[in-house]
Amino acid sequence: MAKLLVKLQRYFRRKPVRFFTLLALYLAAGSLVFLHSGFSGEPTVPGSQRGPGEGPGLPYLGVMQLSRGFKAAVAMPEGGRRHGPWFKSTSKEPVERGKAGDYGSTRSRVLRGRSGREKEEDRARYIGCYVDNTRRRTLRGVSFFDYKKMTVFRCQDNCAERGYLYAGLEFGAECYCGHKIQASNASESECNMECKGERSNTCGGVNRLSIYRLELAQESARRYGSAVFRGCFRRPDNISIALPVSQVMLNMSVDKCVDFCTEKEYPLSALAGTTCHCGFPTTLFTLHEREDEQLCAQKCAGEEFESCGTTEYLLVYQTQVQDNRCMDRRFLPTRAKQLVALASFPGAGNTWARHLIELATGFYTGSYYFDGSLYNKGFKGERDHWRSGRTICIKTHESGQKEIESFDSAILLIRNPYKALMAEFNRKYGGHIGFAAHAHWNGKEWPEFVANYAPWWATHTLDWLRYGKKVLVVHFEDLKRDLFVQLQRMVGLLGIAACEDRLLCVEGQKDGNFKRSGLRKLEYDPYTPEMRKMISGYIKTVDTALKLRNLSGVPDDYYPR
């Protein structure tokens, strides 16, 4: 054996090219064996023994935890389209794709993609590319955008969770939900944009929707969807105009009326005894003057534990249908002659105010800064330079004289400092809709933050009152309490004629995508007596400054409990 090794060594010294050739072949063979072992067999899903096709329960989410190797194996080739991780076929397609010649034919890949779409057991079925119109949407339910992380699964999951029948993706980053498709087909080649969050999938195109039917969307969510109770209201004078669609239901229940109005694509469902009315909030039916709920307390004929209103007093619910009358937005058609600031201390609700202004005016808002997360969520004016003149107003937290005097007018948004400081602390350590960890609240970060930021809360307002030109003061609390009136004031300063129906539409879409959940509120007061004493002094200073300018002082709830 030793003599054989010596002979091989001498041979390869004389023939080094042959040695390296054999070495390369050996490594290539090892790589093929490794790849084959990575793609063969069924993947295991941690924490779940139930397969995706078993039973009629909730959408299967286990595939999200699979190994990277398997995800690469099941990714559809160029000609096909996956349906997202929770729509797994029961076929052995990943194994079959490893066969010789499987990747050689574009036609075979397209056919395999089509057959995968049409399998009845799929949880969602791709039904085609459709025309969309920004003025009149093809899918008129809720919508959301993410210009960085949008995926087919994320869109399908969000629409299914809300009980919609269809999910559509557009422009690589926009997701639309709906119960009906109200447009014509387009050529498949026009849905040609990759998803921002997964390059292997297609997410529509320019004014083109890749639409999926959610075959097994949660039936309970679709039928008993989370309709929002709006209250008891007096019957409008001309109900056939105010609420144009109606249906007599002898076996009336809240669910039946909500389902009927949802199917008819209306955001309001109004119960009047045995009649169900559907419509939009308009000047004829504003939903501003609520009545005592006892006036609507007549039992439903089809559900004895529910109230269904009367012929004179309507019980109103907001359905899952999105009111699209205020959803169109664009840049200003001509360069703005004046720069209007939307000024606030951080944490005072500036992002929420921008959302309201964009819906109310139909124009994008800009920013003194650039926040990629806001741009990815649909604030397209975020990327423009603040002096571009293409946006209706500019967000700013600046408080220096030079910066303030750069603007021709301003909306100054003021919020209770106790709430504003906590909101900014959460944003700093948890993101726009996240929360700071308990370690941050209990550590040195919170006392240092209050010591640095509380004085700024006061100086910010004082500086804008002193150096600002044509400043409109809006209290965050007043905006929440009386959105219609306060938004009218804000839009008026921007020089836009406020359309009342559009403002009523905004009221129904007021929360937007940047509202923190109330589920993780602190269970204790993080402010020490020393902090409250300091902040109380700043509140009094701001209150005095406002009153010296003949403005109403700060709301009473600004002072400590």
With beta carbons less than 8 A apart as the criterion, state whether 122 and 60 touch: no
501 and 458 housed in the same domain = yes
Lowest mean pLDDT among 41-45, 193-197, 328-332, 530-534: 41-45
Both structure tokens of 489: 């004031």
Please check the confidence at residue 408 and state whether its pLDDT lies above 90: yes
Name the pLDDT band for 199 (thresholds 50, 70, 90).
confident
What is the spatial distance between Cα 224 and Cα 204, in angstroms, rounded to a whole number?
Answer: 30
Name the pLDDT band for 66 (thresholds 50, 70, 90).
very low
With beta carbons less than 8 A apart as the criterion, state whether 59 and 51 touch: no
Please check the confidence at residue 217 and state whether its pLDDT lies above 70: no
Residue 117 lies in a domain: no
Concatenate the DSSP letters of all residues of 441-476 into one string.
HHSSHHHHHHHHHHHHHHHHHHHHHHH-SSEEEEEH
Helix (H) / strand (E) element for 479: namely helix 476-481
- Domain of 360 in residue numbering reads as 340-558
What is the spatial distance between Cα 488 and Cα 504, in angstroms, rounded to a whole number?
Answer: 11
Residue 100 lies in a domain: no
pLDDT greater at residue 495 or residue 57: 495
Domain count, the chain: 3
167 and 240 housed in the same domain = no
478 and 354 housed in the same domain = yes
Mean pLDDT, residues 405-426: 94
The residues, ordered by sequence, that sit 6+ positions from 326 with a Cβ below 8 Å of its Cβ are: 359, 360, 362, 502, 505, 506, 509
168 and 296 housed in the same domain = no
The per-residue pLDDT of the chain, averaged, comes to 78
193 and 242 housed in the same domain = no
Please check the confidence at residue 72 and state whether its pLDDT lies above 60: no
134 and 266 housed in the same domain = no
Task: State the pLDDT at residue 498.
Answer: 79
Task: State the pLDDT at residue 284.
Answer: 93
Task: State the pLDDT at residue 304.
Answer: 73
Residue 294 lies in a domain: yes
Q: How many CA atoms lie within 13 A of 308 on its CB side?
A: 25
Name the pLDDT band for 12 (thresholds 50, 70, 90).
low
Task: State the pLDDT at residue 509.
Answer: 82
Q: How many CA atoms lie within 13 A of 52 on its CB side?
A: 23
What proportion of the chain, given as a percentage, has pLDDT over 70? Answer: 74
Please check the confidence at residue 351 and state whether its pLDDT lies above 60: yes
Which of 321, 349, 383 lies at the terminal end of a domain, its last residue? 321
* The amino acid at 515: K
Task: State the pLDDT at residue 372.
Answer: 84
Task: State the pLDDT at residue 530.
Answer: 94
Which of 159, 185, 214 lies at the terminal end of a domain, its last residue? 214
Residue (of 376, 393, 385) closest to 514 by Cα position = 376
Lowest mean pLDDT among 66-80, 159-173, 371-385: 66-80
What proportion of the chain, given as a percentage, has pLDDT over 90? Answer: 47
145 and 247 housed in the same domain = no
- As to burial, measured by CB atoms within 10 angstroms (0-12 exposed, 13-18 middle, 19+ buried), residue 452 is exposed
Task: State the pLDDT at residue 32.
Answer: 57
Lowest mean pLDDT among 114-118, 149-153, 342-346: 114-118
Task: State the pLDDT at residue 83.
Answer: 32
Mean pLDDT, residues 351-369: 94
Both structure tokens of 158: 């969000």
What is the spatial distance between Cα 43 and Cα 13, in angstroms, rounded to a whole number?
Answer: 47
What is the spatial distance between Cα 434 and Cα 279, in angstroms, rounded to a whole number?
Answer: 35
Tokens 């399998």 correspond to 119
260 and 310 housed in the same domain = yes
Mean pLDDT, residues 41-65: 34
CATH number at residue 519: 3.40.50.300
* The amino acid at 99: K
Please check the confidence at residue 48 and state whether its pLDDT lies above 60: no
The 3-state DSSP class for residue 527 equals coil
The 3-state DSSP class for residue 277 equals strand
Which of 214, 248, 279 lies at the terminal end of a domain, its last residue? 214
452 and 505 housed in the same domain = yes
Number of H helices, E strands in the chain: 19, 17
Residue (of 189, 187, 193, 282) closest to 240 by Cα position = 282
Task: State the pLDDT at residue 18.
Answer: 64
Residue 22 lies in a domain: no
What is the spatial distance between Cα 85 and Cα 120, in angstroms, rounded to a whole number?
Answer: 16
Mean pLDDT, residues 495-520: 76
**Distances from the Cα of 497 to the Cαs of 4, 79, 180, in angstroms?**
95, 49, 33
* The amino acid at 68: R
The residues, ordered by sequence, that sit 6+ positions from 202 with a Cβ below 8 Å of its Cβ are: 81, 169, 191, 192, 193, 194, 195, 210
Mean pLDDT, residues 496-504: 88
**Distances from the Cα of 538 to the Cαs of 456, 543, 545, in angstroms?**
10, 9, 11
Please check the confidence at residue 277 and state whether its pLDDT lies above 70: yes
Task: State the pLDDT at residue 520.
Answer: 52
Please check the confidence at residue 422 and state whether its pLDDT lies above 80: yes
The 3-state DSSP class for residue 422 equals helix
pLDDT greater at residue 102 or residue 196: 196
* The amino acid at 240: S
Name the pLDDT band for 229 (thresholds 50, 70, 90).
confident
371 and 227 housed in the same domain = no
Please check the confidence at residue 16 and state whether its pLDDT lies above 80: no
Residue 487 lies in a domain: yes
407 and 543 housed in the same domain = yes
Residue 488 lies in a domain: yes
With beta carbons less than 8 A apart as the criterion, state whether 166 and 143 touch: no
What is the spatial distance between Cα 261 and Cα 269, in angstroms, rounded to a whole number?
Answer: 6
208 and 234 housed in the same domain = no
Using one digit for the tens of pLDDT, what is the confidence trace for 167-186?
A: 999 999 999 988 778 888 99
Residue 249 lies in a domain: yes
Concatenate the DSSP letters of all residues of 279-292 into one string.
E--BTTB-S-S-B-
* The amino acid at 269: S
Residue 229 lies in a domain: yes
pLDDT greater at residue 52 or residue 485: 485
Please check the confidence at residue 215 and state whether its pLDDT lies above 90: no
Torsion angle in degrees (nearest 10) through CA of 195, 198, 201, 202: 10
Mean pLDDT, residues 222-251: 84
With beta carbons less than 8 A apart as the criterion, state whether 201 and 151 touch: yes
Please check the confidence at residue 20 and state whether its pLDDT lies above 70: no
Please check the confidence at residue 68 and state whether its pLDDT lies above 50: no
Question: Count of CB atoms within 10 A of residue 431's CB?
Answer: 12
Question: Count of CB atoms within 10 A of residue 365's CB?
Answer: 28
